[in-house]
Structure 1
Amino acid sequence: MPLSIPKRRFSALSAGMTPVVLLAASAAGGMYPMGRPSDAAPRPVASVSSTAPVVTSEEPQVDLDAELAAAVAPLTGDSTMSVAVLDTGSGDGALYGRRMYATASIVKVDILAALLLQAQDDERELTGYERSRAVTMIENSDNDAATSLMRAIGGAAGLDAANQRFGLTSTTAARAWGLTQTTSADQLKLLQTVFGTHSKLTGASRTYLQGLMRRVAADQHWGVSAAGSDWALKNGWMPRSATGLWDINSIGQVKAHEHTYLVAVLSAGQQTKETGIERVESVAKAAVRVLDRAR
C-alpha cells in the first residue's frame, strides 16, 4: 500500500496515486478541537465588529510541487526530465513532470518484483536458476538475464498483470522490455512496493530485492545515490538509435539528514550518458533538498 501524502504539502503526485496513498498520514490543517462548554453561567460578551479581521491558526499552505519545479527546471538543460520524491517518515512528497518515459534497465526491478509476486502466488521459493539470473540482472544489469526472467513471468502481459496489482496505472510493458513506458509517479509506487511495509510483496521478497539493489556493481554507483547515503538503487541508460540521444534513469532509496527518501528520476534527450548522469544526480539532490527544507 503506498504511503500517504498530506494534501497541504502535496498536489500533483497525489492525483496520480491510488486511493490507498492517502491512508498512512494525517492532514496537517483544517480540523480544530472544539472547547468543552463551561459549566458556569455565561459571561457577557462584548460586541465584535463584522468587519474585524478573522484570525486563523492554520499553517500556511506549502506547494511542494511548485517548489520542486522551481528547483528542477533550471537543471534539465536541453533534455526532458521528471522526478518523484517521497519522505517515508513524514509522508511529504512532490512530483515534477507527468510525461511517460522509456524505462531502459530500471524495469529490471519491476521484472523481479513480478517474478517474486508470482512465486508467492504459487507458494514457492525462487529456483536456483531464477536466483542466479536475478542477481546478474540487478547487480550487473545483465540484459540476457532480464530477457530470460521477462520470459519466465509471461512477457509483457505478465508484467502488466503484476503492475496492475502493484498499482502502477501509467506503466505499459513492452516486448522489448527496455522500451516499457512509465512515469516517475509510477516508479515511486514501485519503490513503495519494494521498500514499504504495506506491499503486495512479502517481507522476505522485499528484503531479497532490496539486498540486490544495495549491491549493484561499482560502475553503477551513480544516480539517486548522489542525494544521500545508505542507498539502494537501480539505474537505466539507453541510447536511442533514431536520435543518438540518451535515456538516463535512476530509482531507489537514500537516507539524508536522518530521513529516508524514495526517489525516481527519469529523463530523455540527453546528449551523452555522462551529461545525463550529471543531470539525474543534480535533480535527485534538488528533490531531496526541497523535502528537507519542508520539515
Structure 2
Amino acid sequence: MDTDAALAAAVGSLGGHFAVAVTDLGSGAAAQWGADSFVTASIVKVDILAALLLRTGGDGLTDDQKAAAELMIEQSDNDAASALFEAAGGAAGLDAANARFGLTGTVAGTDGYWGLTSTTAADQARLLRVVFTADSPLDADSRAYLGQLMGRVADGQDWGVSAADQGGAAQLKNGWLPRSASGLWVVNSIGRVAYGGRDLLVAVLSDGSATQQDGIDLVESVAAAAARALVTAQGQQG
C-alpha cells in the first residue's frame, strides 16, 4: 500500500472536517489527506516568527523581539504576536515571506487579524520543512531558534500532534479559536514528532468542532493515525 492510500485508510473513517499532512524527514516519504483551506488561529505564530527571522537572520532580533517571540510561541501570547506581525511587515510582509517559503495556498489575515490567515495542510507541511530542514530560505541559526521555542511550549498547550510522539521531545505549535458566527471551534496543530523510530513532521487542521476539547480530540486522533499509517506503509514497502 502506498503512503497516500495508507493515510486515506487510516483517517478516512474519522468524523469531522480536517486535513492532515505528514512527512518522514529520513526517507522523504510524505502523504496528505484533504486539500481544503482552514483558518490558522495561532499556528500562524510560527509563520510570523519565520517571516521576521527571514528579514533579520537568526541573531538579528532585538532583545524585545526575542522576549516577544518566547511569549508568542511558548505561551501563545496574542499581544506579542501582534507586535511581531507588524515588525514582519503585517499582512503584506507575511505574504511576501510565504512566497519565499513556497507556500502557495496561504493568505495573511488583513486589518491586523493575523489569526484569520487562511492555509492548507500542504502549506503547513512546507512551513515545517522551512523550520526543520535545510530546504529553507532561513539560515541555520534561525531554524534552530524557532525549533527550540517550539520545543518549550507551555504545559497545557502541548496537546495536538504530540499525541503521535514516542520520543518525549515533540516540537509544536497549536491554534484554537471559536468562530464568532457559529460558535464552532477551529483547532490546529503542527510540529515535529518521533514515531516508530522515524522523525516526522505532522500538520493537522480542523474546524467545525462543537467544543475546543472535541477539536483537540479530533486533531490528536488524526495525528496519531497519520503517523502510524506513514510509518507502517514504509515498513510494508521495505
TM-score past 0.5 threshold = yes
Residues 89-100 of structure 1: pairs in structure 2 closer than 5 A: 89-100=26-37
After superposition, give the CA deviation of every residue in 1:201-245 in whole Å (9 maximum; x if it has no partner).
111101100010000100111000010132100000000011110
Whole-angstrom distance in 1 between the partners of 2:107 and 2:77:
22
Q: Given the alignment, which residue of 18, 22, 28 partners 1:85?
A: 22
1:109 aligns with 2:46: yes
Q: Hey, what does 2:10 align to over in structure 1?
A: 71
1:158 aligns with 2:96: no
Q: Hey, what does 2:190 align to over in structure 1?
A: 251
Note the residue ranges of structure 2 that are not aligned, 5 or more in a row: none
Instruction: Give, as a single letter, the amino acid of the residue that structure 1 aligns with 2:152.
Output: R
Shift of 1:198: 2.2
C-alpha root-mean-square deviation of aligned residues, in Å? Answer: 1.1
Q: Retained in 1: the 8 A contact 2:23–2:31?
A: yes
Q: Hey, what does 2:174 align to over in structure 1?
A: 235
Q: Retained in 1: the 8 A contact 2:6–2:230?
A: no
Whole-angstrom distance in 1 between the partners of 2:19 and 2:135:
25
Q: Hey, what does 2:231 align to over in structure 1?
A: 292
Instruction: Give, as a single letter, the amino acid of the residue that structure 2 aligns with 1:64.
Output: T
Q: Hey, what does 2:108 align to over in structure 1?
A: 173
Q: Hey, what does 2:123 align to over in structure 1?
A: 186
Note the residue ranges of structure 1 that are not aligned, 5 or more in a row: 1-61
Shift of 1:199: 1.3
Runs of 4+ in 1 over 4 A off after TM superposition: none
- Give TM-score scaled by structure 1 length: 0.76
Q: Retained in 1: the 8 A contact 2:59–2:142?
A: no
Instruction: Give, as a single letter, the amino acid of the residue that structure 1 aligns with 2:8.
Output: A
Whole-angstrom distance in 2 between the partners of 1:215 and 1:113:
17
Instruction: Give, as a single letter, the amino acid of the residue that structure 1 aligns with 2:108.
Output: A
In structure 2, the residue corresponding to 1:89 is in which secondary structure?
coil
- Give TM-score scaled by structure 2 length: 0.94
Shift of 1:124: 6.0
Q: Hey, what does 1:5 align to over in structure 2?
A: none
Q: Hey, what does 2:150 align to over in structure 1?
A: 213
After superposition, give the CA deviation of every residue in 1:61-97 in whole Å (9 maximum; x if it has no partner).
x43222212211222x2x3100000011111110000
In structure 2, the residue corresponding to 1:275 is in which secondary structure?
helix
After superposition, give the CA deviation of every residue in 1:152-196 in whole Å (9 maximum; x if it has no partner).
111100000000000001100012101000000000000000001
Whole-angstrom distance in 2 between the partners of 1:171 and 1:286:
25
Instruction: Give, as a single letter, the amino acid of the residue that structure 1 aligns with 2:148.
Output: G
Instruction: Give, as a single letter, the amino acid of the residue that structure 2 aligns with 1:266.
Output: L
Whole-angstrom distance in 1 between the partners of 2:185 and 2:9:
24
